[in-house]
Structure 1
Amino acid sequence: GREAQADAKLRRVARITVCGKTALAKEVFGETLNESRDPDRPPERYTARYYLKFNFLEQAFDRLSEAGFRMAACSSTGTCAFAPEQGGPAAD
């Protein structure tokens, strides 16, 4: 019943999803790429069903940086990285 659903929600693990060309995802993320949801995808095709075996976004950015990728833009919702006293947006 509801108790089992609550337990399932508590056990849910946040995943970092990888979307893009299969061959490039494998090249960048190597053994840390979990392909179990789309195991037979040809290398030249795109996928949005892979995810990483680690849960820290910094590790994903480190891998991308090591492979020569650079961040061109970013966006976030619902959070503010800087407080007003740190030069961030002022509180309304």
Structure 2
Amino acid sequence: MASPAATYSSPALSTPHTITSTPSLPTTTAKPSTSDRTAYLATLTNSITDLQANMEEDKAAAGGAAASKAIDDEKEEENYGEEVVEED
């Protein structure tokens, strides 16, 4: 059975991040022990955490582009459900 893998390609960096879970998923015919399942889930959780950290680093590296597109949440909340005509 194949192992699940995740690949993230950053627009800011040329090298994609690839994470493959280890150990492989247990077969459906064998009943894995609790310790095997716990080890698998711990490894998977660590891999996801690493991938998210890499994505956050990439977002920080992109920096200014993301900040310029930020939405003012407080203003959006204040005007929720209202038609707002912005004055120039």
TM-score range, shorter chain: under 0.3
Per the normalisation by structure 1, the TM-score is 0.27
Larger-Rg structure: 2
Structure that is richer in strand per residue:
1
